[in-house]
Amino acid sequence: MATANIRNLNCSQVIAEAIGLEMERDPRILVLGEDVGRIGGVFGATRGLQERFGDKRVRDMPISEMAFTGMGVGLALAGYRPIIEIMFADFVGVCLEQVYNAMAKIPYMSGGTVRMPMVVKTAGGCIGSAAQHSQCLWGLFAHLPGMKVVVPGNPYDYKGLMASALTSDDPVVYIEHQSQMGKKATTFRAGAVVPAERYTVPIGQAAVVRSGRDLTIVTLSACVEHALEAAETLAGEGIDAEVIDLRGLVPLDMATVCASLARTSRLLVVDEDYVSFGLSGEIVARAVEELGPTALRQVARHANPDVPVPAAAALEQAVLPGPASIAAAARRMAARS
């Protein structure tokens, strides 16, 4: 780890590094997607891989997502471990069929005789590109059974979770946050140090990224950094927030969440995805189921209020969680208790 502290990659470089290490290790891994080859991905997360591994293993595809997502299924059946890149999560509407009816279901439908070691890699979250290029949609993937849903929120996890996804025998949806791809590792509050060597972060384990006594903020992806920033502000006001990074939705690590809630008894779920019928409701429901309703003194959700992401900056800011709005939500809870 001698090199760790002098490396200052951005998250997309970290991901490319992880994929490169796995591709070296395992010749069955290949990458299909739009612009993943010559330019190494519109967010840069496959940069340099085509040069190293050739244009068959890292392939620029036409805009035919249904075909190449299904090719991923066929390649997995043929013994490969394909990474299929859907450039933005928003585009999954053109190929969801192969994702949920084939990739996710074949292991179960085949009675366990077939495994689907396939990774759907995509970018979610908002960087200002409005309603059709800003969605998280992890709640959608997680609702559909059969795939693991991994959502890293810091450089260390981007690398380690990609390694785990590529060694998993189950299908994995791996969702990056657009805003983090160009963000330098050293600017992160959590997971800023990224070893050059290969390592894995287990899928399905949440992390307590900040300990606190007063309330538990449960979140993931870019909102983890927002929540940590909010927690610093709140600390100055005498509110001590614990922050949990879920690191994914399926499997959902409720043990870590419940252990925290057992101490704080206040739950604030922060989610950049749409609020209804998704992650935030599931967290609340499972907390209530597992701890019993009376164990929780307060419960709140702060997420996109079920509107398409608007184009105008002021509107966008009004519907997405950020450090200030998270702090405000926590303050409202503190005031009520």
Ligand X SMILES: Cc1ncc(C[n+]2csc(CCOP(=O)(O)OP(=O)(O)O)c2C)c(N)n1
Query: CA nearest 178: which of 142, 139, 137, 218?
Result: 137
Long-range contacts, 13-16 (Cβ 8 Å, 24+)? 13/44, 13/47, 14/155, 14/158, 14/159, 14/185, 14/194, 15/45, 15/46, 15/158, 15/159, 15/162, 15/176, 16/40, 16/41, 16/44, 16/45, 16/46, 16/47, 16/48, 16/49
What length does the chain have?
337
d(CA 326, CA 25): 42
Choose the binding region for ligand X from 25-33, 87-95, 101-109, 237-245 (rule: CB under 6 A).
87-95
Q: Which of 229, 151, 217, 164 is nearest to 190 (CA)?
A: 229
Residues that bind a second copy (CB under 8 A): 66, 90-101, 104-105, 108-109, 130-132, 139-140, 142-146, 249-250, 252, 274, 276-282, 284-286, 288-289, 293-301, 304, 306-308, 310-311
Taking CB under 6 A as the rule, does residue 34 contact ligand X?
Answer: yes
CB of 156 to other proteins, least distance (A): 22
Q: How far is the CB of 76 from a second copy (least distance, A)?
A: 17
CA–CA separation, 157 vs 200, rounded Å?
A: 8
Find the binder of ligand X among 53, 80, 91, 158 (CB under 6 A).
Answer: 91
Q: Which span (127-135, 184-192, 211-219, 231-239) binds other proteins, by CB under 8 A?
A: 127-135
Q: Are 159 and 17 in contact (CB under 8 A)?
A: yes
From candidates 10, 29, 31, 68, binder to other proteins by CB under 8 A: 68
Picked from a second copy, other proteins, ligand X, none, the partner binding residue 189 (CB below 5 to 8 A depending on kind) is none
Instruction: Decide if residue 319 touches other proteins (CB under 8 A).
Output: yes
Q: How far is the CB of 55 from other proteins (least distance, A)?
A: 9
Q: Contact region for ligand X (CB under 6 A) — 21-29, 86-94, 154-162, 272-280?
A: 86-94
The count of residues interacting with ligand X (CB under 6 A) is: 6
Residue nearest to ligand X (CB): 91
Figure out which of the listed residues 3, 132, 276, 337 binds other proteins, where binding follows CB under 8 A. Answer: 132
Active site residue 226: no
Q: Tokens 């059969």 appear where?
A: 146
CB burial of 285-309 (b: ≥16 within 10 Å; e: otherwise) equals eebbeebeeeebeebbbbbbeeeeb
277 binds other proteins (CB under 8 A): no
The residues that are catalytic are 133
Q: Which residues bind ligand X (CB under 6 A)?
A: 34, 63, 65, 87, 91, 94
